[in-house]
Amino acid sequence: MNLNYNEEQTMLREQIQKFCESEYDFYKREDIVKSSADYDENVWKLFAEQGWLSMPFSEQSGGLGFGPIELSILFEEFGKALVIEPYLSTVVLSGTLLDNSTYKDRKEIIERICNGDIQVSLAYAEAEKGYDYLSSNTTFDNNILNGTKTLVLNGANAEKLIVTCVKDDIFNIVILDSKTEGVSINSFSTVDGQSCAEISFENVKLDETSVISSGENAIDLIKQTINLATLCVSAEAVGCMESCYTKTLEYTKGREQFGQPISSFQVLQHRMVDMFIESELAKSLLIKAMLEVNNRSDDMYKHVSALKSYIGKSGKVSAKEAVQLHGGMGVSEEMMIGHYLKKMVSIDALFGNADYHLNSFS
Amino acid sequence: MDINFSKEDSAFRDEVRDWLSNDYPKHVKEKTDNGITITKEDLVDFHKALSKKGWMGYNWPVEYGGTGWSASKLYIFNKELGLAGCPPILPFGVGMVGPVIYTFGNEEQKERFLPDILNFNTWWCQGYSEPGSGSDLASLKTKAVLRNDLDEDYYVVNGSKTWTTLAQNADWIFCLVRTDNSGIKQEGISFLLIDMKSPGIEVKPIITIDGDHEVNSVFLTDVKVPAKNLIGEEGKGWTYAKFLLAHERFGIAGVGASMRQLNRLKDIISKLDNPDLKRKVNDLEVALSAIEITELRLLSALENGGHPGAESSILKIKGTEMQQALSELFVEASGEYALMYPGPKGYENNDKPAGPDYAAEGLSGFLNLRKTSIYGGSNEIQKNILSKFVLGV
């Protein structure tokens, strides 16, 4: 048994940390959030140069062949730096789905993803369906797509859209250009500084070649893809939890009241210890979940659910504590700390919240 | 990364399981499986069976007759015994005073005391806490004065100890006593071994809120203790006490025992059609998994050359909270039968207990396990430790 990260994995983590420190500090992030764009094209190119956009893809597809462990490391560090670039939607949700499919043009699209030349979004959610992503009111009968997808991450920037739908009562996944006639996109910001879109399809005419997968295969593809994405955002939450604790500790050591650093007060010490403990326990569940996904074990969904329910609950608690212990600074938009709380809210909302995963756990 | 145990460790786990199904005394198993309180004799039989297998010295080096097990074997041993529902191994001899004796004692003391500990011929109890000294242990007042009479050196001990677990069964007590008052409170503490049959020792029961007699007050009045029963140097007792407390924390997360309780609860709750209980038990299962992996992470760090940091305090805090939460859920699952009092005048005197058979056991556990977040350095003390060593404040 060895639960330590190996040298290669540790180097990857350090590489990401260094990048975030030099190229993606909080001020840089704020500039991107306040700009008219939803993400930074130059940063995205740098991601490609670092090889990060190729990480999870198989070597046959031109990727680095890394697995859930490396993805978890990347997302943990993204969580600490509150990165808003559309890695989740393009690389994880869309890219790995294509990579695991038999879709004819997948290599070409993945190559463009690796080079940073294309954004792709997965439209998996519908307003009436809640967290049930395996059924759909969007229809593809007679190869004509009709319906409305919601909360499509980075939807407005996607050149291609991957859409779940039903054809003759059978679950299907199709792909199309976002500029196809009949597609209308309404984009809005998310609470954590990203963007997502509501996308309507009105009599969008496609043909058979746009089908990526159908039936049981399509269901498996969506389940696996969403599970991997759930692992990724949970790892992001684990990174956030560690930062909530370390940044709060740093702040209370520097903040003086009543003639002493407020970190000298036992009531605050014990609350920070609780934040530390929760962050460590979340890391433990992350390790378990990523190893299960890595081994493609039968229990992988169960352990991702355990992790997601845990971080959904304790992650928000940690972020709320971080805000409280920062006092007024905690609720100031210009301070980084409050943004972790917004991140935790958005992570909990994605792919099934804490309650949902607690129920699907057993 | 690899979360699986090595082949050697897996083979060891099978050996422990074999022992549990073949040599773990049947009459003890019968009782623990059915939630029946075990007697002193049952406990002795259990420990003797471990001695016979050569496993009593689970945490001792080979040179003193111990197993010399690695951290992972210790973990497996502890977990499997917990999963099987064994009573906890009494820590006072083998877990506490034994390591102090072989680390700080002289040759004569090692020869005199260690074999009896390994063979469970002596029952030890712990004389640490005093009525005025709980978490602030170093403030203890029980006094030992060195005398010489007819060329015999001995201490005269006066004072009282409290919360002494199973002192009513004990042959010996190891005590922290004050031999000097002149310096800071941590100095002037000495570590004495005292025969419980010595004149001047009186044991009085303290009945806990579960109605059980587990802990005691021990009064010491002019108790004469041979000076050769002093461990190490006079005035260095605090060092030995801290060493001992570090040993006490082993296995304190109680993952195996908690898993057993969790599985029993899941079984009970699956028959109740109560979504609230189901959610709660799921919640505990997730949290227990987090504790289990955290312990494995510490273990992995140990096996790869790291040190167990103050992080073991995490396991103490979360492990004991888990034990309490599980027992509370047993009570909730009992519904209105949580009303049944498990104490001496209560439920256990009825010929045919009312309600489900887990009701009384659940409530006993719930009341009894309140102690877990209090003993071994209360959970608040653990948080102070984490503040100091991890947060650095």
Taking CB atoms and an 8 Å cutoff, what residues of chain A touch B276? none
Here the CATH number for the domain that contains residue B273 is: 1.20.140.10
Does B307 contact A at CB distance below 8 Å? no
Helix (H), strand (E), coil (C) string for chain B: CECCCCHHHHHHHHHHHHHHHHCCCHHHHHHHHCCCCCCHHHHHHHHHHHHHHCCCCCCCCHHHCCCCCCHHHHHHHHHHHHHCCCCCCCHHHHHHHHHHHHHHCCHHHHHHHHHHHHCCCCCEEEECCECCECCCHHHCCCEEEEEEECCEEEEEEEEEECCCCCHHHCCEEEEEEECCCCCCCCCCEEEEEEECCCCCEEEEEEECCCCCEEEEEEEEEEEEEEHHHEECCCCEHHHHHHHHHHHHCCCCCCHHHHHHHHHHHHHHHHCCCCHHHHHHHHHHHHHHHHHHHHHHHHHHHHHCCCCCCCCHHHHHHHHHHHHHHHHHHHHHHCHHHHHCCCCCCCHHHCCCCCCCCHHHHHHHHHHHHHHHHCCCCCHHHHHHHHHHHHHCC
Same domain? For A347 and A263 the reply is yes
- The distance of A273 to chain B (nearest Cα, Å) reads 6
Would you call B345 exposed, middle or buried from its count of C-beta atoms within 10 A (0-12, 13-18, 19+)?
A: exposed
Most B CBs within 10 Å, among A255, A279, A284, to test the B interface? A284
What count of residues does chain B have?
Answer: 393
pLDDT in tens, B114-165: 999 999 999 999 999 999 999 899 999 999 999 998 889 999 999 999 999 9
Residue B243 lies in a domain: no
Give contacts of B384 with chain A, Cβ < 8 Å: 266, 269
Question: Which residue does chain B place closest to A275, by CA atoms?
Answer: B391
Q: Which residues make Cβ contacts (< 8 Å) with residue B322, sequence separation at least 6?
A: B253, B254, B258, B284, B287, B288, B291
pLDDT value of residue B303:
81
Q: Looking at mean pLDDT, say which of A156-165, B63-72, B244-253, B264-273 comes out highest.
A: A156-165
- Report yes or no: B283 at the A interface, CB cutoff 8 Å: yes
**Which of B266, B293, B391 is opposite residue A285, by nearest beta carbon?**
B293
Q: Does A135 touch chain B (CB under 8 A)?
A: no
Per the CB < 8 A criterion, the answer to whether B344 and B313 are in contact is no
pLDDT band at B327 (very low <50, low <70, confident <90, very high): very high
Q: Which residues in B lie closer than 8 A to residue A12 (C-beta atoms)?
A: none
Domain that holds residue A150: 120-214
Tokens of B180: 């000097």
Residue A245 phi, psi (nearest 5): -70, -50
**Claim to verify: residue A71 and residue A172 sit in the same structural domain:** no
Same domain, A221 and A316: yes
Closest listed residue to residue A275, CA positions, set B297, B314, B393, B312: B314
The answer, for A260 touching chain B at a CB cutoff of 8 Å, is no
Residues B258 and B216 in one domain: no
Check CB contact of A358 with chain B, cutoff 8 Å. yes
Start-to-end CA span in chain A (Å): 26
Q: What is the pLDDT of residue B308?
A: 66
Same domain, B296 and B385: yes
Q: Does B311 touch chain A (CB under 8 A)?
A: yes
Same domain, B212 and B262: no
User: Of A186, A214, A242, which marks where a domain is finished?
Assistant: A214
Phi, psi of A197 (to 5 degrees): -140, 150
Q: Is residue A2 part of a domain?
A: no
**Where does a domain end: A100, A115, A130?**
A115
Is the CB of B299 inside 8 Å of chain A's CB atoms? yes
pLDDT at site B290: 97
Question: Are B229 and B304 within one domain?
Answer: no
Contact list in A for residue B386 (CB cut-off 8 A) is 273, 276-277
B188 inside domain: yes
A7 to chain B: closest CA residue: B1
- Let me know if B149 is exposed, middle or buried by CB neighbors in 10 A (0-12, 13-18, 19+): exposed
Rounded (10°) angle between helices A337-349 and A216-254: 160
Residues 285-344 of A with CB under 8 A from B: 285, 287-288, 291, 303, 306, 309-310
- Residues A70 and A185 both lie in one domain: no
State which of B209, B235, B261 marks the end of a domain: B235
Calculate the average pLDDT of chain B.
Answer: 91
Task: Decide if B270 is inside a domain.
Answer: yes
User: What gap in Å lies between CA A200 and CA A183, rounded to an integer?
Assistant: 6
Do the chains contact at B293 and A5, CB–CB below 8 Å? no
pLDDT at residue number B346: 57
Q: Are residues B229 and B262 in the same domain?
A: no
CB A314 within 8 A of CB A241: yes
Residue B293 has phi, psi (to 5 degrees) of: -70, -35
Residue of B nearest to A362 (CA): B282
Same-domain status, A40 and A140: no
What pLDDT sits at residue A52? 97
pLDDT, one tens digit per residue, over B263-282 is: 999 999 999 999 999 999 99
Q: What is the pLDDT of residue B350?
A: 53
Residue of B nearest to A9 (CA): B1
The stretches in chain A having pLDDT less than 70 are none
Closest residue in B to A290 (Cα) is B1
C-alpha A250/C-alpha B130 separation (Å) is: 39
**C-alpha dihedral (B285, B286, B291, B296), degrees to nearest 10:** 100
Each residue's pLDDT tens digit, B181-197: 999 999 999 999 999 99
- Residues A189 and A247 both lie in one domain: no
| B4 close to A (CB below 8 A) | yes
8 Å CB contact of B1 and A287: yes
Asked if the structure places residue B56 within a domain, the reply is yes
Average pLDDT over residues B198-213: 94
Yes or no, beta carbons of A362 and B278 under 8 Å apart: yes
Give the chain B residue whose CA is nearest to the CA of A246: B391
The reply to whether B62 falls in a domain is: yes
CA A274/CA A305 separation, integer angstroms? 23
Pair (A161, A43) in one structural domain: no
Q: Assess whether A110 and A124 both reside in one domain.
A: no
pLDDT at B135: 87
B3 contacts in chain A (CB < 8 Å): 1, 3, 287-288, 291
**How far lies B325's CA from each of A113, B185, B250, B263, in Å?**
48, 37, 21, 14
Q: What distance in Å separates the CA atoms of residue B214 and residue B228, rounded to the nearest whole number?
A: 30
| A266, A276, A361 ranked by CB distance to B390: nearest | A276
**Contact A285/B291, CB-based, under 8 Å?**
no
Q: Residue B214: inside a domain, yes or no?
A: yes
Cβ pair A284:B282 closer than 8 A: no
- AA identity, residue A43: V
Same domain for B50 and B166, yes or no, is: no
Please report residues of A whose CB lies closer than 8 A to that of B292: 284
CB contact under 8 A, B383 and A2: no
Whether A35 maps to a domain, the answer reads yes
B2 to A264: CB separation less than 8 angstroms, yes or no: no
The gap from C-alpha A54 to its chain's centroid, in whole angstroms, comes to 16
Chain A: closest CA distance from residue B258 (Å): 17
CATH classification of the domain holding B194? 2.40.110.10
Q: Which of A119, A47, A49 is nearest to A89 (CA)?
A: A119
> For A8, which residue in chain B has the nearest alpha carbon?
B1
Same domain, A161 and A173: yes
Residue A191 maps to which CATH number?
2.40.110.10
Residue B103 inside a domain? The answer is no
Check whether residue B210 and residue B264 sit in a common domain. Answer: no
A293-302, Cβ contacts within 8 angstroms, sequence gap of 24 or more = A293/A67, A293/A68, A293/A227, A293/A228, A293/A231, A294/A67, A294/A68, A294/A69, A300/A227, A301/A223, A301/A227, A301/A360, A302/A361, A302/A362
Q: Tell me: do B263 and B212 sit in the same domain.
A: no
Are both A199 and A284 inside the same structural domain?
no
CB A289 within 8 A of CB A304: yes
Segment A52-101, tens digit of pLDDT: 999 999 999 999 999 999 999 999 999 999 999 999 999 999 999 999 99
With beta carbons less than 8 A apart as the criterion, state whether B256 and B17 touch: no
Chain B contact for A266 (CB, 8 A cutoff): yes
pLDDT, tens digit, for every residue of B74-101?
Answer: 999 999 999 999 999 999 999 999 999 9
Which of B65, B89, B113 is the last residue in one of the domains? B89
Do B72 and B167 sit in the same domain of this protein? no
Whether B352 has a pLDDT exceeding 60, the answer reads: no
Same-domain check for residues B253 and B386: yes
Q: State how many domains chain B has.
A: 3
Nearest to A91 by CA among A258, A187, A225: A225
Of B65, B82, B63, B84, the closest CA to residue B74 belongs to B82
Residue where a domain stops, chosen among B235, B266, B294: B235
Whether the CB of B293 is below 8 Å from some CB of chain A: the reply is yes
- pLDDT value at B363 more than 80: yes
Residue A325's φ and ψ, nearest 5 degrees, are: -75, -15
Q: Which of A60, A92, A115 is the last residue of a domain?
A: A115
- Decide if A134 touches B, using CB distance below 8 A: no
- A48 contact B CB<8A: no
CB contact under 8 A, A269 and B384: yes
Q: Are residues B78 and B132 in the same domain?
A: no
Contact A264 B4 (CB under 8 A): no
Answer yes or no: is B50 within a domain. yes
| List of chain A residues whose C-beta atoms are within 8 Å of the C-beta of residue B72 | 1
- For the cut 70, the answer to whether the pLDDT of residue B372 exceeds it is yes
pLDDT in tens, B35-50: 777 889 999 999 999 9
Nearest-Cα distance to chain A for B392, in Å, is 9
Per the CB < 8 A criterion, the answer to whether B279 and B229 are in contact is no
Do the chains contact at B300 and A249, CB–CB below 8 Å?
A: no
Yes or no, beta carbons of A358 and B303 under 8 Å apart: no
Domain of B32, in residue numbers: 7-89
Task: Tell me if A1 is assigned to some domain.
Answer: no
pLDDT band at B365 (very low <50, low <70, confident <90, very high): confident
List the CATH number of the domain containing A265: 1.20.140.10
pLDDT at residue B218, rounded to an integer: 98
Residues A210 and A224 reside in one and the same domain: no
Binned at pLDDT 50, 70 and 90, residue B349 comes out as: low
Does B274 share its domain with B224?
no
Residues of A in contact with B383 (CB under 8 A): 269-270, 273-274
* Residues A206 and A257 both lie in one domain: no
- How far apart CA A114 and CA A59 sit, in angstroms, is 12
Residue of A nearest to B291 (CA): A281
CATH of the domain at A30: 1.10.540.10
Taking a C-beta distance cutoff of 8 angstroms, is the pair A167, A133 a contact?
A: no
Taking CA atoms, what residue in B is nearest to A356?
A: B279
Overall domain count for chain A: 3
In a domain, A63, yes or no: yes
